[in-house]
Amino acid sequence: MKIACVFLLVALVPLASSRLHINNGHFVLNGQRVFLSGGNLPWMSYGYDFGDGQWQRNKDRIEPQFKKLHEAGGNSMRFWIHMQGETTPAFNDQGFVIGPDKQGTMLDDMKDMLDTAKKYNILVFPCLWNAAVNQDSHNRLNGLIKDPHKLQSYLDKALKPMVNHVKGHPALGGWDLMNEPEGMMIPDVHNESSCYDTTALKNSGAGWAEKKYLYKDMLRFFNWQAAAIKTTDSGALVTMGVWNPKSNTDHFNMNNHYSDFCLRKAGGRQKGVFDFYQFHSYSWQGKWDEVAPFTHKASDYGLHKPIVVGEFWEQDGGGMDIIEMFKYVYNNGYAGAWSWHLVQRGDNQRKGIAAIKDKTSNGKIPISL
């Protein structure tokens, strides 16, 4: 009898603790197809929310955001971590990473953040880096992108310990490697490989923060981080948020720089690919551009991976209101919708989140962690 009971428990545990995963091109949790609905937190104190004791100081202001999102009917949140290395990870004077943070609270900060999210049934997608602004005067992020030895120090001393510490946490939705790398890409570079050729991005706006990086370097940066995450936690999901689908599709005369092929070509690490894609979308002077997700179905991009529309807002919504925007994303084959952003414009965005919360045709939204 005792032996039978032990077997029964072992068999039941995996069912009870199902993690978000992807099956047949859809997010699945606890055996049910799920649509990710929510928003970007994205920070309370930009670059100063985690590590070095900062989380415990900010938590009282952050926890209500999880609660409000849950009450509106949301199930997921994108939350930014390192930005450009303002406070984490810890670097030495040569630009090598020596730890997750200086004071040794980072790992528990991440875990406590996820424990807090779990209380409200919110999946968190930690976003590690930001390339949408250039505030990297100390060249910390720059070193990791350009110098493989520095990148490896980040993987060994910070990323793998972080991933290992929160591995399998039910509130961990997935890892988002960077916000909008295109902010610092050099457009109009000719190359024999479409992975590295950015002529299609000429006059697209890419490089708005500063024209600093070649795709060879940026793709290695992603390939190695994704591989490190999946080597440490084989069930982890990895994504990255592009500023516009223009850099992330082979349709519309563009190049998908973030295909499995391009990531492996640049970095050489087999596991270092994305599980799902994430498009950001803002209209310009009231109009959507020709590749905007709000004028297409997810299948129009020819990607064969789930696509989350990971940033959008009514203010640059091409004339749509927030409710129409959430409904459009839900109804057109996308796998999730995260608005920008919950702290600044939460009341507006929670209306959109509430408007789709009971829909089921493209996946259920309420989850239980």
* Residue 49, helix vs strand vs coil: coil
Q: Which of 216, 271, 327, 357 binds ligand NAG (CB under 6 A)?
A: 216
Nearer to ligand NAG, 221 or 338 (CB): 221
Question: Please, are residues 301 and 248 in contact by the beta-carbon 8 Å criterion?
Answer: yes
Q: Work out whether 222 is an interface residue with ligand NAG (CB under 6 A).
A: no
- Give least dist CB 214 to ligand NAG, A: 5
Which C-beta is closer to ligand NAG: that of 215 or that of 326?
A: 215
Q: Which of 2, 4, 13, 192 binds ligand NAG (CB under 6 A)?
A: 192
CB of residue 272 to ligand NAG, shortest distance in Å:
17
Among 280, 262, 260, residue whose Cα is nearest residue 271: 260
Instruction: Classify residue 51 by its DSSP letter.
Output: S
d(CA 61, CA 147): 37
Type and span of the H or E element at 140: helix 140-146
Q: Which of 308, 349, 313 has the alpha carbon at shortest distance from 332?
A: 308
Mask for 79-108, x = binds ligand NAG (CB under 6 A): ------------------------------
Contact with ligand NAG (CB under 6 A): which of 214, 323, 343, 354?
Answer: 214
| Only segment of 73-81, 130-138, 185-193, 231-239 that touches ligand NAG (CB under 6 A) | 185-193
Which residues on adjacent β-strands are paired with residue 27?
22
Considering only CA atoms, which of 306, 366, 312 is closest in space to residue 336?
306
With contact defined as beta carbons under 8 Å apart, do 184 and 212 qualify? yes
Q: Name the residue among 293, 290, 302, 301 with its Cα closest to residue 337.
A: 293
- Rounded to an integer, what distance in angstroms lies between the CA atom of residue 240 and that of residue 226? 10
CA–CA dist 221, 321 (Å, integer): 37
Distances, alpha carbon 44 to alpha carbons 54, 314, 359, in Å: 11, 21, 30
Length of the chain: 369
Of residues 191 and 331, the one with the C-beta less far from ligand NAG:
191
Q: Quick check: 165 binds ligand NAG (CB under 6 A)?
A: no
Q: How far is the CB of 247 from ligand NAG (least distance, A)?
A: 16
- Residue 68 or residue 211: which is nearer to ligand NAG going by CB? 211
Minimum separation from the CB atom of position 218 to ligand NAG (A): 10
Tell me which stretch binds ligand NAG (CB under 6 A): 91-99, 103-111, 189-197, 348-356.
189-197
Q: Is 279 in the site for ligand NAG (CB under 6 A)?
A: no
Q: How many helices (H) and strands (E) does the chain have?
A: 10, 13
Centre a 10 Å sphere on the Cβ of residue 168 and count the other Cβ atoms it contains.
10
The 3-state DSSP class for residue 257 equals coil
**Using CB under 6 A, which of the segments 97-105, 129-137, 190-198, 345-353 binds ligand NAG?**
190-198
From 17, 56, 191, 253, residue interacting with ligand NAG (rule: CB under 6 A): 191
Residues of span 193-212 touching ligand NAG by CB under 6 A: 193, 196
Kindly state the tokens that stand for 255.
């190049």
DSSP state of 91: E
Q: Is 133 or 214 the residue whose CB approaches ligand NAG more closely?
A: 214
β-pairing, 90-91 vs 76-83, is unpaired
Q: How far is the CB of 196 from ligand NAG (least distance, A)?
A: 4
**So which residues are the catalytic ones?**
180, 311
> Toward ligand NAG, which CB reaches closer, 112 or 197?
197
Q: How far is the CB of 186 from ligand NAG (least distance, A)?
A: 11
CB of 55 to ligand NAG, least distance (A): 38
Radius of gyration of the chain (CA): 20
Least Å distance, CB 194 to ligand NAG, is: 11
Q: What are phi and psi of 277, to 5 degrees?
A: -100, 160
Our finding on whether 320 is near ligand NAG (CB under 6 A) is no
| Residues near ligand NAG (CB under 6 A) | 191-193, 196, 214, 216
